[in-house]
Amino acid sequence: MKQTELPAPAPAAVVRPTTPQQRAARAQRNGGKPTLEFTERVPYDAYVRASTLHRLQEPLSDDPGEMSFLVVSQIMELYFKLTCHELRETQRLLRADRVWDALAPLRRAALHLEGLNAAWKGLRWMTPADFNRFRNLLGEGSGFQSAMYRHLEFLLGLRDPALIRPFRRHTEVYAELTATLAAPSVWDDVLALLARHGHDLPAELLERDVAVEHEPHAAVEAAWVRIYADAGPENHLRLLGEALTEVAEQFGDWRQHHIKAVQRTMGAKVGSGGSAGLAWLQRSMARVVFPELWSARTAM
């Protein structure tokens, strides 16, 4: 089902800043009612690009349920991007030893992941029969091929260089993924931070090839045990550990929701992208984000 074609939006108007005094004067002129006349494009649309967003849905079938599948997928892509943005800001602050400041983007990232998890609720109505009405039209299209999700995994330390191969013919996307894979993950930056704060981490761990997935290390676990032993309010590293734990937990919840959604809509059928589907997703759950933050709890 194709949407009715809408006229192209007018060229983007510059969003003009206003002061509190200007807003108060406008409200007084309007008698407290919202402004209804504009000489250019509606300012909200000039900023949010809502008219552009609403042209990005092009269902492949006449099935009304496909719109839910498509829009929820696009919402998730935006949440992937937003979470990546917060994690990169976290890295910038950690590299500058601004641990307290890094807590804010980490907490925002956890909340964005919570919103991402909530998006699954928009698909809980979908049974195998519902999905099968349009699934074949998707061809080999699969969430496995989400470049932004790969960025998110790489930033969280889940690293498999083979997973960027699907993008080799998309040169810009491939270059961006290659750069993320070659740069330290959030966990790599955390380990470097711990070392700068006096925790004894071996050189081979700090100087390893960051494109290779981190293997859990006893020295990192021991560092977190020591950090958590100090429950004082000035122990910012402990607060960092808790913020990281929340991000890891919310991301783990998203992966679990993904498995449940697959079970609900297609059982153990093979995936559209060529994988074993459910079995492949279940195996991927063995890879843990920020592993020593979890294992250290046994020794606390």
Q: Tens place of pLDDT for every residue, the chain, 300 residues?
A: 444 444 444 445 578 888 999 989 988 999 989 888 888 888 889 999 999 999 999 999 999 999 999 999 999 999 999 999 999 999 999 999 999 999 999 999 999 999 999 999 999 999 999 999 999 998 888 777 899 999 999 999 999 999 899 999 999 999 999 999 999 999 999 999 999 999 999 999 999 999 999 999 999 999 999 999 999 989 999 999 999 999 999 999 999 998 888 888 888 776 565 555 566 666 776 789 999 999 999 999
The H or E element spanning position 63 is: none
Tokens matching residue 154: 């790489």
In eight-state DSSP terms, residue 8 is P
Q: Is 274 helix (H, G, I), strand (E, B) or coil?
A: coil
258 is in an annotated binding site: yes
d(Cα 243, Cα 288) in Å, to the nearest integer? 16
d(Cα 209, Cα 182) in Å, to the nearest integer? 8
pLDDT at 271: 58
Q: Is 271 helix (H, G, I), strand (E, B) or coil?
A: coil
Q: For the chain, how far is it from start to end, CA to CA, in angstroms?
A: 57
pLDDT at 5: 46
d(Cα 186, Cα 282) in Å, to the nearest integer? 24
The domain defined by 66-298 carries CATH number 3.40.309.10: no
pLDDT at 263: 87
d(Cα 23, Cα 16) in Å, to the nearest integer? 12
135 is in an annotated binding site: yes
Q: In the chain, what are the domain boundaries?
A: 1-56, 66-298
d(Cα 289, Cα 298) in Å, to the nearest integer? 17
Tokens matching residue 146: 């989400």
The percent of the chain in helix, strand and coil, each rounded to the nearest 5, is 65, 0, 35
pLDDT at 2: 42
Nearest C-alpha neighbor of 186 from the set 295, 284, 116, 92: 92
Full-model pTM: 0.89
